[in-house]
Structure 1
Amino acid sequence: MSDFWKNKSVMVTGHTGFKGAWLALWLTHLGAKVHGYALDPPTTPSLFEIANIASLLHSDTRADIADLLQLKSVFYQHQPIVIFHLAAQPLVRDSYHYPLETLKTNTLGTTHVLEAAREIESLRAIVVITTDKVYHNKEINHPYSERDSLGGSDMYSASKAAAEIITASYRESFFKNSFVNIATARAGNVIGGGDWAKDRLIPDCITAFESGNPVYLRYPNAIRPWQHVLEPLSGYIKLAEHLVSSDGADYARAWNFGPQPNNEATVALVAEKLAYLWGNNAKIKFYESFENPHEANLLKLDSTEAYKKLGWFPRWSLGEAIDHTVSWYKGWREGADMLNICLEQIAHYKAAKSKRSTGNL
Structure 2
Amino acid sequence: MTEGGKRILVTGAAGFIGAFVAARLADMGHRVVGCDNFNDYYTPQLKHDRVAALLAPRGIPCLRLELADSLQLESLFSEYQPTLVVHLAAQAGVRYSLQNPAAYIQSNLVGFGNILEACRRHQIEHLLYASSSSVYGANAKVPFSETDRTDEPVSLYAATKKSNELMAYSYSHLYGFPATGLRFFTVYGPWGRPDMAYFSFTQKILKGEAIPVFAGGELRRDFTYVDDIVEGVVRLLFKPAVAQDGAPPHAVFNIGNHQPVRVLDFIQTLEKVLDVKAKIDFQPMQPGDVPATYADTDALRKHVGFAPATPLEQGLTRFGEWYRAWAKV
State the TM-score, normalizing by the size of structure 1. Answer: 0.82
Alignment of 1:138-217 (within 5 A): 138=139, 140-151=140-151, 152-174=153-175, 176=176, 180-198=177-195, 200-217=196-213
Whether 1:13 aligns to 2:11 is: yes
* Superposition deviation, residue 111 in structure 1: 1.0
What amino acid is aligned across from residue 221 of structure 2 in structure 1? R
Q: Distance in 2 between matches of 1:66 and 1:8?
A: 26
Tell me how far 1:334 sits from its aligned partner: 5.0
5 Å-filtered alignment, 1:50-199, equals: 50=50, 51-55=52-56, 56-121=58-123, 123-138=124-139, 140-151=140-151, 152-174=153-175, 176=176, 180-198=177-195
Name the TM-score, length of structure 2 as normaliser: 0.89
- Which ranges in structure 1 are unaligned for 5 or more consecutive residues? 336-361
Deviations 1:303-341 (CA, angstroms, capped at 9, x unpaired): 111111221122412222222222222333459xxxxxx
Aligned partner of residue 287 in structure 2, secondary structure:
coil
d(CA) in 2 for partners of 1:170, 1:154? 25
Task: Tell me, in whole angstroms, the C-alpha distance in 1 between the residues paired with 2:114 and 2:282.
Answer: 40
- CA 48–41 in structure 1, closer or farther in 2 if over 3 Å, else same: farther
Alignment partner of 1:298 is 2:292 = yes
Deviations 1:237-273 (A, max 9, x none): 1001112xxx75476311111112xx21011211221
Matched, 1:311 2:305: yes
- Give the superposed CA RMSD: 2.2
In structure 1, distance between residues paired with 2:193 and 2:182 = 23
| Matching residue of 2:278 | 283
Q: Give the distance between the partners of 1:236 and 1:84, measured in 2 at CA.
A: 9
Aligned length: 317
Would you identify which runs of 4 or more consecutive aligned residues in structure 1 move more than 4 Å?
247-251
8 Å contact from structure 2 (residues 14, 62) kept in 1: no
Is the contact made by 1:16 and 1:41 (CA closer than 8 Å) also made in structure 2? no
Structure 2 gaps of 5+ residues are none
SS in 2 for 1:92: coil
**Percentage identity across paired residues of the two chains:** 23
CA contact (8 A) 2:21 2:233 kept: no
Shift of 1:233: 1.8
Q: Deviations over 1:64-120 (max 9, x none)?
A: 110011111101211112100011011001100011221221122111101111121
Query: Does the CA-based 8 Å contact 1:141-1:298 persist in structure 2?
Result: no
Find the residue that maps to 1:253 and give its secondary structure.
strand
